[in-house]
Structures are given as structure tokens and as C-alpha cells.
């Protein structure tokens, strides 16, 4: 990511939860599963995989979780006031977070290098050429 200055600040819609991303994400993915379509109210959800110790959060968040099709727990943190989703995480892998990067002040990092669950992708969405795709989650 050229010319991106870290840390990048982020906040939920109401500003009750703020955070700083201290370094670039490990990767950015677009997930097309039905659950991510529900979450994003769009064709897919964007996730920036980051190391837990590279993000500093402030503000009150609430937990939510569900059992994923994979059998893993998909857990999330969101603002208690506006409900804006901040990140997802796997309780079995506490060293990584699945940050929802659309609430960053500099969104240039949002350039997915992989698309997951394309088996559930909306037919009208065209994935750019050269981007890795996976029928399901890897």
C-alpha cells in the first residue's frame, strides 16, 4: 500500500467506538456467503485480516456470535449505540482479527486480493480479473 500513513483512525457511525490500525493488514478479502450479504446489506462483506496487537480500540462494544457452516464460532464486536460492526474474530485464534475496514478514515487499503464463497455470489457482480477466488472459505 503505497503512500498510506499508519496509524489509520477508524470509528463506528456514531463515534462511540474509535480505533487505530497501526500497520497494514495481512490481507483483505471479500466474502460472498449469504451471511456476509446479510451483514453488509450488499453483495459481499469486506474484511481486513489484522494481527490483534496492531489495533487499539476505545469505547464500549458488545459481543455477538453464531456457529458458522464450517463448525467454527464466528464472533463479532459492535458498537452498543449504533450497532456498527467493528470486527469479527475466531475465539480459537486470538492473535488475529477480521476488521471491518469500511469505517476507517483512509479506505485505500480496501482492495480485496481474494474473494471467498463465490459459490453464493450474486450473479450480477463481476469479480475483477486476476483476483484469487474460492468456491467456499479456505
Q: Does 3 reside within a domain?
A: no
pLDDT tier for residue 78 given thresholds of 50, 70 and 90: very high
Buried b / exposed e along 25-49 (16+ C-beta atoms within 10 A): beebbbbbbeebbebbeeebbbbbe
Q: Which domain holds residue 87?
A: 8-133
User: Total domain count for the chain?
Assistant: 1
pTM of the entire predicted model: 0.84
| Residue 87: partners with Cβ closer than 8 Å, 6 or more residues away | 55, 76, 77, 97, 98, 99, 100
pLDDT tier for residue 2 given thresholds of 50, 70 and 90: low
CATH number, domain with residue 126? 2.170.150.70
Q: Does 97 reside within a domain?
A: yes
Does residue 6 or residue 69 have the better pLDDT?
6
pLDDT digits (tens, 9 = 90+) for 81-130: 999 999 999 999 999 999 999 999 999 988 899 998 889 898 999 999 99
Amino acid at each position: 500500500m503505497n503512500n498510506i500513513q499508519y496509524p489509520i483512525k477508524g470509528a463506528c457511525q456514531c463515534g462511540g467506538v474509535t480505533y487505530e490500525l497501526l500497520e497494514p493488514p495481512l490481507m483483505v478479502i471479500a466474502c460472498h456467503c449469504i451471511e456476509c450479504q446479510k451483514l453488509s446489506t450488499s453483495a459481499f462483506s469486506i474484511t481486513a485480516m489484522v494481527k490483534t496487537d496492531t489495533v487499539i480500540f476505545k469505547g464500549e462494544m458488545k459481543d455477538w456470535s453464531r456457529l458458522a457452516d464450517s463448525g467454527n464460532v464466528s464472533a463479532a464486536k459492535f458498537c452498543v449505540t449504533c450497532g456498527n460492526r467493528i470486527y469479527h474474530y475466531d475465539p480459537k485464534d486470538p492473535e488475529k482479527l477480521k476488521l471491518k475496514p469500511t469505517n476507517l478514515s483512509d479506505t485505500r487499503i480496501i482492495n480485496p486480493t481474494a474473494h471467498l464463497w463465490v459459490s453464493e455470489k450474486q450473479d450480477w457482480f463481476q469479480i475483477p480479473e486476476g483476483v484469487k477466488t474460492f468456491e467456499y472459505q479456505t
